[in-house]
Amino acid sequence: MAGDDSWDFARVMKYFLGDDDDDDDMRGVDEKEEARSVVTEAVLNIPIEGTSSVSRPPPHTRGRIPTHRKQQLEFDALRSELARLKGHVMEIQVHESREMPYWERVAKMEQLDTLKAMYENEDLQAAVQHHTAFIDTLQDTMRKKRHLIATPPEIEETCVTYCQLPPVDDLPRRARAMHAVVDYEYKRLHHVFMRHGLLSTTTDVFRAELNAQPSGDIHFEVVQHATLAAPYRAIGTAAWQVLSTSIPDLPPHVDQTIEPIDECTVYTHMTDKHHDTMCHGHILVKHYAVEGREILIGRSILDDPAHPTPRGDLIEDSTFWVEAVALPGQDA
């Protein structure tokens, strides 16, 4: 069947599309092939003297070409069509060795240019469609990211590193930045206590010292560890009450305001105008009531658009960690 030179591409495609006439012709070919296979099978099944043979029924054929054979024919037909088109292109090309009239040469050149332009136009249209689909996908991805990630991580990282807050007109982002600043110090609690030898101590400790830093700054550090005759929950609640409310009887040159952020976070602002150079302090304080511990963390904000620091004034830069826990062997 594959060697039948009288079949052309159109006839093969008609057969694949289910044409009745071609189907009958093809069925006749299949019947011949089936008869030949049955005869071969019968010859192979003839019993030989001294040996036993088991007769097998002839294989069942459906009268149509198997699917894999159809696919092979389709591939061969497409390859033949491609070769024909290539030959057609070669035929219309102008060969220097062939002598032809002037107008025939012009017509051939125009036909060749038209064919090339058609192919280039198809390639350009395919490229435009590909780029359009890519742009649509990219725009959808950008819209999805903008919807899912309201605040880029690098913004919060900047707030933590430089203790900065966003403008006051963006309240959700401002609140997230506040919690990010204090939560960062909460994660450092274990490291700070270990560095100052407070993790395994059982005795009271109090020391205040000045420590020079590699950057050239000098830090004033106060470390205290004490045992109090009270439940750790009561100690934590009392400490939170002091840090989250205004200090009574302040000197007249000291101003203080308390800005509640939520039920466990406050933002304290203080200004000392006693000296010619004023000193400002903006401290975030957060209360963590975790299992077996009461923790309070405070961190100064150095740059807040809602509370700008005048040029030449001082601003406080401080951090504190407070933890209340039960004594070993006791629940409260």
The predicted model gives 219-235 an average pLDDT of 93
Sign of CA dihedral 196, 198, 202, 204: positive
138-147, 195-204, 304-313, range with the lowest pLDDT: 138-147
Contact 286, 320 (CB under 8 A): no
**Distance, CA of 90 to chain centre:** 51
* pLDDT tens sequence across 120-150: 888 888 888 888 888 888 877 776 544 344 4
What is the overall mean pLDDT for the chain?
Answer: 77
The predicted model gives 200-220 an average pLDDT of 89
The secondary structure of the chain in percent helix, strand, coil, rounded to multiples of 5, reads: 45, 20, 35
Domain boundaries, the chain: 9-45+57-130, 159-325
Phi, psi of 259 (to 5 degrees): -110, 105
Contact 294, 235 (CB under 8 A): yes
Buried b (16+ CB within 10 A) or exposed e, 103-131: eeeeebeeeeeeeeeeeeeeeeeeeeeee
The predicted model gives 156-170 an average pLDDT of 73
Contact 36, 59 (CB under 8 A): no
C-alpha 18/C-alpha 165 separation (Å) is 74
Distances (CA, A) of 125 to 85, 113, 138, 230: 21, 18, 20, 81
* pLDDT tens sequence across 49-103: 444 444 455 555 556 677 877 788 888 888 778 777 766 766 665 555 567 777 7
What are 53-60's contacts with CB under 8 Å, separation 24+? Answer: none
C-alpha 174/C-alpha 172 separation (Å) is 5
More confident call, 268 vs 329 = 268
pLDDT of residue 118 exceeding 70, the answer is yes
Give the contacts of 108 (CB within 8 A, at least 6 positions apart): 92, 93, 94, 100
pLDDT of residue 9: 55
